[in-house]
Amino acid sequence: MNTADDVRSVHAGLGDAFRSAYHNSVATVVVSLAWFVASLPLVTVGPATLAAYAAVQSVRERGHVDRGDVRDALAAHWHNSALLSGVFVVFTAVTVAYATQYLETGAVSAGALAVVAGYLTAHLAVVLVVAFVRLSEGASVHEAVTSGYSWTVTHPLDTVLLGFVSVGLFAVSALLTVTVCLVFPFLLFTFHVAVVGRRTA
């Protein structure tokens, strides 16, 4: 796919996310706040994220949060989502450890390892975004993870743009303080679902 298609896909996904949040303001607040509260223990961030993706899918398909869809997704994959989020936490911790070591010692080897670990963690983050979207659609964990890796390989520019736009959404939301809890999660997950849905692997 060409660069123009990639940019249009991400731009359209961002537009979908803002329109969905605007037209479903109650669902936006409920899903966002529920995700934020459910993720506070950290060990529950995986299941909370899966539930949020399932809720977003139901809003896009039916115009409201279908609790049955959310329950079904959690019943099928709560343990898989917890495991996948745990893997991401481990990669992030390794990256932070090497970066901290580099800042404290200035060791070139630590700096190089921090860069490599950071790249792998960033790549893994997008793989997991796609995987969680697929899990919320009913795919098996193997299909979801395979699809996530395949998507990032076949859509490299989309992968980069998805990451940068996600960080940008967080930065803008953080400036508006309260929107981090009440709007950002729904906006982010809807953006992911929209982009991944447009660019199937």
What's the confidence (pLDDT) of residue 1?
Answer: 53
The region that residue 165 occupies, defined by phi over 0 for left and psi between -120 and 50 for alpha, beta otherwise, is alpha
Q: Dig out the tokens for 93 from the structure.
A: 């911790």
What's the confidence (pLDDT) of residue 201?
Answer: 45
Tell me how long the chain is: 201
**Is 80 exceeded by the pLDDT of residue 4?**
no
Domain chopping of the chain, boundaries? 3-198
What's the confidence (pLDDT) of residue 75?
Answer: 97
Q: How far apart are CA 90 and CA 127, in angstroms?
A: 15
Q: How far apart are CA 57 and CA 53, in angstroms?
A: 6
What's the confidence (pLDDT) of residue 2?
Answer: 63
**Is 70 exceeded by the pLDDT of residue 199?**
no
What's the confidence (pLDDT) of residue 8?
Answer: 87
What is the arithmetic mean of pLDDT over 40-52? 95
Q: How far apart are CA 125 and CA 151, in angstroms?
A: 12
Convert the pLDDT of each residue in 69-117 to its tens digit.
999 999 999 999 999 999 999 999 999 999 999 999 999 999 999 999 9
Work out the mean pLDDT of the chain and round it to a whole number.
94
Q: How far apart are CA 46 and CA 38, in angstroms?
A: 10
Q: Which of 25, 143, 21, 156 has the alpha carbon at shortest distance from 76? A: 143
What's the confidence (pLDDT) of residue 200?
Answer: 64
pTM beyond 0.85: the answer is: yes
What is the arithmetic mean of pLDDT over 163-170? 95
What is the arithmetic mean of pLDDT over 48-55? 98
Convert the pLDDT of each residue in 185-196 to its tens digit.
999 999 999 999
Q: Is the dihedral of CA 172, 118, 125, 164 positive or negative?
A: positive
Q: How far apart are CA 58 and CA 78, in angstroms?
A: 18
Q: How far apart are CA 119 and CA 125, in angstroms?
A: 10
